[in-house]
Structure 1
Amino acid sequence: MRPIFASLVALSLSFGSAVALAEGSAGRVINTPNAQASTPVGVTLVVKKITVGEDATVVNLVASFDSRVTGRVDLNRENAVLVYGENQRLHLRQPADNRDLTIQNGRSMVGDLVFPGQIPAGTERVTLIFNEGNTNDDITAPGVTIEVPLAGGR
């Protein structure tokens, strides 16, 4: 097993730990250099890469929060999903030690979000959704959607 989110710097938080890709399966790594989103309340998310394994799809993410409005936000009050194809969904395996993916003001988290299941070959884009149904200016659990192009299809 490997950590799901390791610290960026001393002020960073950890998302916890989760099951890694299947034993002996390195998975296919897809770099995603242009996949990012931000919200009016100060959340910035950057998807660095996606690894598609036999049993899980892993999203490597940097999440930062800087605000003058509130002291913390939850990115996973409504379970995060990875959407592909005709509204097919993979649901986030919630980290045991930070189930709501809470970020304190002035902090960042970096690491891997595990979505049990596999993105099918030929998938050209996925959408990562946090707090689906919430607006992006919600000061406790902002809704965030990131369109992630998969170069050359999965």
Structure 2
Amino acid sequence: MQVSGSRIKLWCPLISLALIQFFAPVSAQVPVPRRLRFKVLSAGKLLVSWKEPKGEYDGYKFIYNTEPGGETSELQIARGENKAIIKDFNPRKEYSVKVIAVSGNLHSRALQGKYTAEDQSSDGDTTQPQRLKEAGPVEEGNEISGGKAKV
């Protein structure tokens, strides 16, 4: 009888903890930004915008570089500002962009896209949207406009 009583004392807290973890709401996830868009503002400026995520977050980490092997630049952007301007834009280069929502020390998955000037329309605006394929799990609704989407 002592053996089964000690097993119950051991398993009850573990089962309770498992049930709490399973049914507790997930509040530690940071929402992912959506719909990356590009627009050439001038010969030296590229506007990158995105749709703000639903949920709680503090701001964004905006990371970009030129392909292949260009220097990586990172900007911190406040909540409510859902755009960034690449001021050293060179229309002959390909740009790789990541937008990450930040909440304290937590980060969302990255919204990623690439821009090339090949598909740019004559007025400098973006062309038809294309689906963006991500390396990790794909969230429906992550779209890229303008330029050419590449994996």
Instruction: Calculate the TM-score normalised by the size of structure 2.
Output: 0.42
Structure ranking higher in strand proportion:
1
Higher relative contact order (CA 8 A, sep 6+): 1
Q: Find the structure with the greater CA-based Rg.
A: 2
Structure ranking higher in helix proportion:
2
